Structure formats: C-alpha cells, structure tokens
Amino acid sequence: MPYACIFVPDFPVEALLRAEPELRSQAVAVLEGKPPLQKVFAVNEKARRLGIDPGMTKIQVEPCTELVLRPRSPLQETAAHAALLDCAQSFSPRVEDTAPDTVLLDLSGLESLFGSLPEIARDIARRTSDLGLEANVATAFNPDTARFAARGFAGVTVVPEGKEAERLGNLPLEVLFTELISPNPTEEAVRLLETFDLWGVRNLRALCALPEIALSERLGQAGVRLQQFARGAISRTLVPVDPPLIFEEAMELDHPLVLLEPLAFLLAHMLDQVCARLAARALAAQELRLRLELDTGFHFVEDLPNATTHVRTGALGSLQRAESRGPGRAPVRQQNAADIALELTLMHSSKFIRTLQLPVPMLDPKVFLKLLQLDLKAHPPDAPILKVHLSAIPAQPRTIQGGLFLPPTPDPEKLELTLARIAGMVGEDKVGSLHLLDSHRPEAFRMQRFVPTEAEGQKEKPDDVSSAPVTALRMFRPPLRATVTLREGKPAHVVCSKRKEVQGEILWMAGPWRSSGDWWEQDGWARDEWDIAIQTPVVSRRSSVVSNALSLYRLVHDLLSGGWFVEGTYD
Amino acid sequence: MSSSLVRIEAKGRCFPFVAEPKSAALLKQLSRTPKLTGVTAASRLEIRPAPETASCGIAQVDALSGGLPRGCLTEVCGPESSGRTSLLLSALAVATRREEICTLIDASDAFHPHSAAAAGVNLERLLWIRCGVNSPSSLLAHKRRNTTSLEEWERRRREDPVEQALRAADLLLQSNGFGLVAIDLAGVPLKTARCIPLTTWFRFRRAVENTPTVLLVIGEQFCAQSCASLSLQLRDSVLSSRFSVLSEHPSSNGHDSCAEQRPSHTELLSGMEIQAEVLHSRTERKPAQSVSTAFQTKAAWAG
C-alpha cells in the first residue's frame, strides 16, 4: 500500500512565515523563553547559513543585522498544523497526525482519482504551498520509509517498492532519531548516535550493511529496529485521525493596532488562508467570526442591578445593549433586519467579537474582507488590538441549477456587499425584507434579513390585471401631531404644525373605526381612525402656479393619550 | 463624368476628397480615411429596438403606455392622493408574482407594508430600504466633539434621505439581477427633489440600460426630464371634481347638507378614480394630443 508523508522543515519558522510571507526571502530565527533568557528555538535555512543555530541566546544572535527575530507563536503553529491536516484530508480520508510538522496519509486507491504516485506527490506539494507552507513530500510503500524520505530529501521524493534501502542509503543517521530535531534530545538517542559515530556508521547504507546478530548483541532490540527502519523492512498500520472541522486562524501582534486600515491587511491574509483551507476540504463559509483581543484600559463592563449588562465601548463605540445571561451559556444573538446579523458578546473585558452570518455559503476572501471592513467601520473596536482570531463555520457549497426561463436574480455575493454598504449608510435595521406580525396593532411588522429565494417557476399567471389596484396608504413616520376642532363630536377642522399643507376644513369624513388591543400589557393601544378629505395646495408642473386639490388622510385619535395624529395619506 | 480627387488643406493636413461625388463613392472614400475608420454614417445607424415592457398591473395604464419599459427609467408623478403609490404597489405585486426580485428605495420612509400585502406584493421578494434615518457612521460622527465644519457638512449630506436614496439606487443598479427598482421620492419636498442633478438621472439611465430591470421613480414633480423613457402624470379625477363643487358652493357652515344628514360612520372610502396621462414616451411617437385614461382603485377593505 502506498503512503505519503508531508513534512514541514523548520516548522515554527514556517508557521510564522505563513502569517508573514514577506519574510520568506530573509533569515528568520524564532525565539523562545522569557526575556532576558530568550534562546533561538528554530531557524530557517538562510539563518543557518549565517551561522545561527538553535540553542543560541538572543544576545548572541542580535549582532547579526540580517537576521529577523520573532517570538515563538503557539497560535500560529496550531493554525499551520491544522492547515497541514486539511491539506492531507483533501487527498485521503486516512490521515495520521504523526507530529506537529509531519502528517502521513494512505494513498491506496487514489491513483484512479489523482494519477500516478509522482503526480499525487506533486499535487500534495502544490496544495501545501497554496496553504502557505513549504513542505517536503515523499511517497513510499511503508509509512516510516515515507517519513524518513520526507525528512531527508527536500522537495518531492518517490521511493519505489523494494528499493527502500537503496533510496534511503545516502541519508544521515540523524533522520532516524526524530527526537534530535527538538532542542532537548533524549539521552538514549544521543548514546546510540555517539556509538554509531564511533563505529564509523554515519549513513543508513552503512547501518544496513551491519550484521544483524552482532548489532543485536551490542545495541539490543533498539539497534535492530533502527536497522530495519533503514532497510524499509518495517511496515505498520496508520493511526487515522478525524480532525474536527475547525477553520481558525490567529495572529498575535508585536505592537497594538489602533487603526482599522492595517488590520485590513492582516485580515486579508488570514481570510486567504481560511478560504484556502475551506477550499481544500471542498467546503464554504456560512459564518465568519472575528475575535479581537483588545488592550485593556478602555473597555469595561457595568453590571446593573436589574441584571442587564450595558457594554460601554469607549469614545468611538456606541452604547449597545446586550441581554444578560448566566455564566457558561451561549451568547444571545441579536436579530437584525440587515443582511448581516451581528452579534456583540463580551466574554471578557478585553475581547471584542463580531459575527457575520452569510445568507448563502460563500468562499470569496475579497467579499469577506469587504464585509468585515464595512462591519468594523460601523462597529469599531474601542481599544488597540493585541490579537486577532478569525474563524469560519463551514457548510456545504451552494449548488444551483439556473433555468432558462427563470427571471434573473442578483448574485448573492454581490448583493451581500451591496446590502452591507447600504446598511452602513442608512442603518442595519433599515434594510431588509418585511415580515408582517399577527396583530392589529399599527405598524405590526418586523424587518428581517433579505435573502432572495430561488425562483421556482410561475405557478400562476403573473400579468393577471383583472382586479382593480388597491388604494395604498403612505405613512408619516412618526405620525404628525394635529390640532383638531370637533363639531358635534366629529372632526371639522385640522391643523398640522409640522406639515403646513395638512390643514383646513374637513370636507368629507368616514369613521370612526375603533380598535384596541394588548390592554393586558403595559403598551396597550386604543384608537379611533377617521378617513378625511381636505383641500391642499398643488404646484403646477410647468409653472409655479398654485392650485387646490383634495387629499385623503387617515386621522387617528389616540384614546389613551387623547392626542390627535395624522398617520398617513391615501395615495 | 468621372470623379476627380482634389486635396483640401486644412491646418497643414491634407485630406483626399472627391469633387462632384456620388454619395456611395463619397462614403467609400470617407471610410478609407484613417481617422474615420470605424465611424458609422448617421444615415446607416440602426434603429434602436423598442424595449421589452413589463405590465404595471393596471390594464388601462398598460394599454395607454404599452407597459413599463425594461432597461429604462419610468417616472410617475402626481400630487398627494393621486394614485402614485397604488400604481407602484400594483407594479411591485405583478413583478413579485413573476418571481422577480424587487427593491423599494423609500426616501421618506412612507411605505405601508399592510397596503403592500393587500395589493398582493410578495414581501419575501421585496427589499425595502428606509432612508432618512440615523446611520451608524452619522451616530459616530455625532459623538465626536471636535468635528470640523467640513465633517459636519459631510455628515449632514450623508444623513440627507434623498442623498441616501440616490446612493442606494446607484449601488443596487450596479448589482444587477433586480426585476424592478423603485425610488419613492413622493414624500420628498419639491425643492429638494428639484435639486437632484440631471447627471444622476443620466447615470441611472446608463446603469439600467441593456438590463431587464425596470427603474420606476415616483414623485410629486418630474425630475428626470429627458432621461425618463416614459413619464406618466396621475391625478384623482372624481374626488377633485366632486369636492371642488362642494368647496365652491359650501353650505352655510361649510358642510354639505346631504352629507350632514348621514352619520359619518356610514361613509366608507371605497376607492379612488385615477386619471393617467402619458406626457412623454421615448418608445412611441409623441401623440398629437395628450392621451389619458382612467382607472379605479379599491380600498383594501372594500373586498
């Protein structure tokens, strides 16, 4: 059975370079430890050429001006490891998570899908590169041979079946001791390596040539096992893992970010990575979550006695109200009418979370970036940013079948951006579609997110114009307060101070139509409605001549407050 | 007589030209001139095909205007209670029944959802944009104390509902895919509506051109002028005539004696009789005289 191994050399450095690809052409060293006792943990090839080795102190390497020093980032290493697993999973469902920098995958049966073994290996290398990692890929007919070949040979390596010993012969003995890669090798490994060095055995070919019994007598089963590894004679079964579908990228910043523009650059790169990982798994994003860790000092929480939490967001932020909830409960989602449902949760005083719910699964980093930019512009964080976490909730990609005779619909990605831009202008709850509520209360409707539904083909004749159009009412929002003169209990004269044309004798009226409801609630309502006609001035089209015309209005008498209002006009 | 070439010198350049030309020979000669290559003579321009039209849901108006032209701007104007919104709702209802996605850009936030539902508008297919409310950016700007006059001017400009409506229309028309985009300027003050630059309407006309979108603008007065392919004027004929008589000959207390005899709750607003007039149509030849029609609306509760 063929296997492939993906190995990322200098993994801590590669994880950093994945987040900062502009450093790829420079010598980079990763430091670990608390200042001032920081030591070099890993270096890339260019730094190695400058004489920088792991274990050197920061003071020792600082004089090297060409060297870029970065602190070790466990967040980025975790993300890089997840990307490595995603890459492997995109080829085979049987993947072994061997080490943070090493992944083994079973290639049996994949030839018919992806071609020959060299082609598969090249494809794996290409996809790993797309995910921002430069890796060595090796294929062989047992897992450990593939692992040693990936560790020993740069680029793509294919080890033919039966020629393992010959192909691995030139590799140094160190490839067998994976523990030596770490800065703290085990004593046993060091002892064995020293023994082989004393015997003059420095590569795998020399190890294979040693007599097995003599080797067993001197080094025990450990020595025999190493020889079998070198010959490619040991085969084992993989321990497959099923990595959870978590697509998260994180970045820790050296200096706090204050402006949104530089944040956009970081987000663009992180979105590219998340989308590449989703694409590798043939998935799309249904929801994006941006979590910013902020510099404390600007952001605080007030606990009010009525168990309602107010989140004060500093000078730039707006006062937003979030429902109170107990510890450990899921965050309450604020339903908005806008296309993007937003959620503001304060899990800790220094965390700021924005959630973008997408109407359909999408996979376009440019659209995501623009949506995040618009959202952050409307709801900026109120303190400098220290860490950025970006995660995507995956979903199956949208599949649509266009119909020749169906009316065109807006492109969802384009529409989403457009609606986000419009929401930035007019407000999030002022854009969307309508949902009528089951109530007789005036203005009983709710704005909801606009998601265009797919056309299903016309079931009724669309241009049926046999019935007369309905007389429409145009609302005045808010209703215009009016002064009404009553004559025999009926409105006779109306004056509206806010709208000069709505005043005069009432020439015709119909009503009152009484309605009331919710009397058991605090916000009960009771009103009398009148339809009235009054004379209004009209400016002529071609000149400024003013003539009179009649207009129909809805006059409302609020029975609870006793006020009169002009609610709208029939048009 | 064979034509002979002469050379005309103008500003140091020579142009070959034909003396005593025949029209065909002249055109052939001109087409060889390097600068004129690719330029079609006006006499050979193709006639622009008539746009496809969509029903507005009112048979009389469809018969009068031929329907709402797609890829064009249609303007419907009239005073209050002239049936502009009824026509708009009717057009929205028909478009949503055709399963098209429609947008209503409401500059004065006057849309009444229950009227729309009664008119048969599929509200799931209608995107409603309510302008003239406080946007997040303006709220933020409000909180900043040290705003300069320029920033204040910019903030006020952004808060202007007409400005918001026009910007939203611009964005939506660029998005494509909508069956009907309606801009409701009916509640906007006349002075503000007249200040909309003509270039805005030209841009809208250009954006909607060659698309299946109907761009419908309703207002009190015509703003788009020559950019509109169809201009409809509406007025409520019956109510006006009936009440004008009343107002000219009022009773001593200003009320109709007959009406006084009836209690007001026995009266019912059953509908309006609307008169529509085509003032301008790019798709058809200009009528020799004003062409108008009438249709009746019914109240939602009139059955």
Task: Report CA-CA distances (Å) from A412 to A54, A180, A237, A273.
Answer: 51, 52, 46, 22
Alpha helices in chain B (DSSP H): 23-32, 59-65, 84-97, 113-119, 136-143, 149-159, 161-175, 190-194, 198-208, 237-248, 257-261
pLDDT for residue A375 is more than 80:
yes
Task: Establish whether this prediction's ipTM goes over 0.85.
Answer: no
pLDDT for residue B277 is more than 60:
yes
Q: How far apart are alpha carbons A92 and A104 in whole angstroms?
A: 10
What is the bridge-based pairing of β-strands A564-570 and B4-10? unpaired
Q: What is the pLDDT of residues A238-252, one digit of tens each?
A: 899 988 889 999 988
Q: How far apart are alpha carbons A306 and A309 in whole angstroms?
A: 9
pLDDT of residue B171: 94
Of A380, A550, A568, the CB nearest to B240: A550
Lowest mean pLDDT among A283-297, A353-367, A530-544: A530-544
Which has the higher per-residue pLDDT, B247 or A176? A176
User: Is A146 in contact with A139 (CB distance < 8 Å)?
Assistant: yes
pLDDT for residue B40 is more than 80:
no
| Average pLDDT score, chain B | 77
Q: How far apart are alpha carbons B15 and B234 in whole angstroms?
A: 56
Structure token pair of residue B142: 């409000």
User: Is A247 in contact with A364 (CB distance < 8 Å)?
Assistant: no
User: Is B278 in contact with B260 (CB distance < 8 Å)?
Assistant: no
| Chain A residues lying within 8 Å of B225, measured CB to CB | none
User: Is B280 in contact with B231 (CB distance < 8 Å)?
Assistant: yes
Read off the DSSP letter of residue A171: S
Task: Please spell the DSSP secondary structure of A51-111, one letter per residue.
Answer: T--TT-BHHHHTT-TTEEEEE--HHHHHHHHHHHHHHHHTT-S-EEEEETTEEEEE-TT-H
pLDDT for residue A41 is more than 50:
yes
Taking residues B269-275, what's their average pLDDT?
Answer: 82
| Type of residue at B66 | G
Counting one residue from chain A and one from chain B, the pairs whose CB atoms sit within 8 A come to 272
Name the 3-class secondary structure at A15.
Answer: helix
Lowest mean pLDDT among A270-274, B180-184, B212-216, B238-242: B238-242
Mutate to test the interface with A, among B242, B243, B253, B262 (most CBs of A within 10 A): B243
Cβ of A433 and B123 within 8 Å?
yes
User: Is A66 in contact with A1 (CB distance < 8 Å)?
Assistant: no
Cβ of B59 and A466 within 8 Å?
yes
| Type of residue at A562 | G
pLDDT of residue B102: 95
pLDDT of residue A175: 85
Cβ of A471 and B233 within 8 Å?
no
Q: Name the residue of chain A whose CA is nearest to B86's CA.
A: A472
User: Is B50 in contact with A539 (CB distance < 8 Å)?
Assistant: no
User: Is B115 in contact with B106 (CB distance < 8 Å)?
Assistant: no
Query: In chain A, what's the furthest Cα-to-Cα distance?
Result: 123
pLDDT for residue B268 is more than 60:
yes
pLDDT confidence tier of residue A339, bands split at 50, 70 and 90: very low
pLDDT for residue B136 is more than 70:
no
Lowest mean pLDDT among A308-322, B72-86, B276-290: A308-322
Of A436, A447, A505, the CB nearest to B117: A436
| Chain B residues lying within 8 Å of A509, measured CB to CB | 264, 267
Residue B89's nearest CA partner among B175, B186, B160, B173 is: B186
pLDDT of residue A271: 95
| CA–CA min distance A538, chain B (Å) | 7
Cβ of B271 and A468 within 8 Å?
yes
Q: What is the pLDDT of residues A537-547, one digit of tens each?
A: 766 655 555 66
Q: What percent of chain A has pLDDT over 90?
A: 44
Name the 3-class secondary structure at B84.
Answer: helix
Q: What is the pLDDT of residues A123-163, one digit of tens each?
A: 999 999 999 999 999 999 989 999 999 999 999 999 998 88
pLDDT for residue B127 is more than 50:
yes
Q: How far apart are alpha carbons A180 and A186 in whole angstroms?
A: 8
Structure token pair of residue B77: 């104007």
Task: Please spell the DSSP secondary structure of A287-334, one letter per residue.
Answer: EEEEEEEE-TTS-EEEE-TTS-EEEE-TTTS--EEE----TTPPPPP-
Lowest mean pLDDT among A50-59, A278-287, A312-321, B149-158: A312-321
pLDDT confidence tier of residue B289, bands split at 50, 70 and 90: low
Residue A131's nearest CA partner among A16, A270, A250, A277 is: A277
Q: What percent of chain B has pLDDT over 70?
A: 67
Run of H or E residues at A371: helix A365-378
Taking residues B74-101, what's their average pLDDT?
Answer: 92
Structure token pair of residue B64: 């009068």
Q: How far apart are alpha carbons A169 and A230 in whole angstroms?
A: 8
Structure token pair of residue B176: 């494509």
Q: How far apart are alpha carbons A19 and A74 in whole angstroms?
A: 12
Task: Report CA-CA distances (Å) from A212 to A30, A162, A207, A226, B172.
Answer: 42, 19, 10, 11, 78
Lowest mean pLDDT among A554-563, B80-89, B110-119, B244-253: B244-253
| CA–CA min distance B301, chain A (Å) | 9
Q: How far apart are alpha carbons B230 and B291 in whole angstroms?
A: 13
User: Is A375 in contact with A354 (CB distance < 8 Å)?
Assistant: yes
Cβ of A508 and B259 within 8 Å?
yes
pLDDT for residue A169 is more than 50:
yes
All residues at 6 or more sequence positions from A191 whose CB lies less than 8 Å from its CB, including other chains: none
Q: What is the pLDDT of residues A492-527, one digit of tens each?
A: 999 998 888 888 889 888 878 899 998 898 889 999
Q: What is the pLDDT of residues A378-404, one digit of tens each?
A: 889 988 999 999 999 999 998 877 777
What is the bridge-based pairing of β-strands B214-219 and B180-184? parallel
Q: How far apart are alpha carbons A115 and A123 in whole angstroms?
A: 10
A155-182: buried (b, 16+ CB within 10 Å) or exposed (e) per residue?
ebbbbeeeebbebbbebebbbbbbebbe
pLDDT confidence tier of residue A336, bands split at 50, 70 and 90: very low
How many other CB atoms are found less than 10 A from the CB of residue B176?
Answer: 17
| Chain A residues lying within 8 Å of B103, measured CB to CB | none
pLDDT of residue B4: 43
Task: Please spell the DSSP secondary structure of A424-436, one letter per residue.
Answer: HHH-GGGEEEEEE
Read off the DSSP letter of residue A28: E
Run of H or E residues at A157: strand A156-158
Lowest mean pLDDT among A176-180, A360-364, A366-370, B252-256: B252-256
Q: What is the pLDDT of residues A255-275, one digit of tens each?
A: 888 888 999 999 999 999 999
Number of H helices, E strands in chain B: 11, 12
Residue written as token pair 């297919």: B125
Lowest mean pLDDT among A34-43, A460-469, B59-68, B164-173: A460-469
pLDDT for residue B103 is more than 90:
yes
Q: Is the pTM of this model over 0.80?
A: no
Q: What percent of chain A has pLDDT over 70?
A: 86
Q: How far apart are alpha carbons A510 and B271 in whole angstroms?
A: 13
Give, rounded to a whole angstrom, the gap between the first and last alpha carbons of chain A: 78
Taking residues A480-499, what's their average pLDDT?
Answer: 90
Residue written as token pair 């705003």: B147
Residue B60's nearest CA partner among B78, B80, B86 is: B86
Cβ of A465 and B186 within 8 Å?
no
pLDDT confidence tier of residue A348, bands split at 50, 70 and 90: very low
Lowest mean pLDDT among A58-72, A183-197, A348-362: A183-197
Name the 3-class secondary structure at A553.
Answer: strand
pLDDT of residue B148: 60
Which has the higher per-residue pLDDT, A408 or B110? B110
Mutate to test the interface with B, among A436, A503, A532, A570 (most CBs of B within 10 A): A570
pLDDT of residue A550: 82
Which has the higher per-residue pLDDT, B23 or B56? B56
Cβ of B126 and A434 within 8 Å?
yes
Residue A157: strand pairing partners: A138
Q: How far apart are alpha carbons A275 and A261 in whole angstroms?
A: 21
Of B128, B178, B299, the CB nearest to A471: B299
Name the 3-class secondary structure at B104.
Answer: strand
**Cα angle for residues B133, B136, B142 (degrees, 5° grid):** 90
Q: Name the residue of chain A whose CA is nearest to B162's CA.
A: A426
Residue B277's nearest CA partner among B237, B221, B231 is: B231
Percent helix, strand and coil across chain B, each rounded to 5?
Answer: 40, 25, 35
pLDDT of residue B184: 95
Cβ of A407 and B98 within 8 Å?
yes
pLDDT for residue A186 is more than 80:
no
Burial grade of A81 (CB within 10 A; 0-12, 13-18, 19 or more): buried
| Average pLDDT score, chain A | 83
Q: How far apart are alpha carbons A568 and A557 in whole angstroms?
A: 13
| CA–CA min distance B46, chain A (Å) | 28
What is the bridge-based pairing of β-strands A39-43 and A503-517? unpaired
| Type of residue at A484 | V
Read off the DSSP letter of residue B107: T
Q: Is B234 on the interface with A (CB under 8 A)?
A: no
pLDDT for residue B275 is more than 70:
yes
Give, rounded to a whole angstrom, the gap between the first and last alpha carbons of chain B: 81
In terms of average pLDDT, the best of A119-128, A314-323, B185-194 is A119-128
Residue B15: strand pairing partners: B8
Peptide bond into A491 cis (omega under 30): no
pLDDT of residue B9: 47
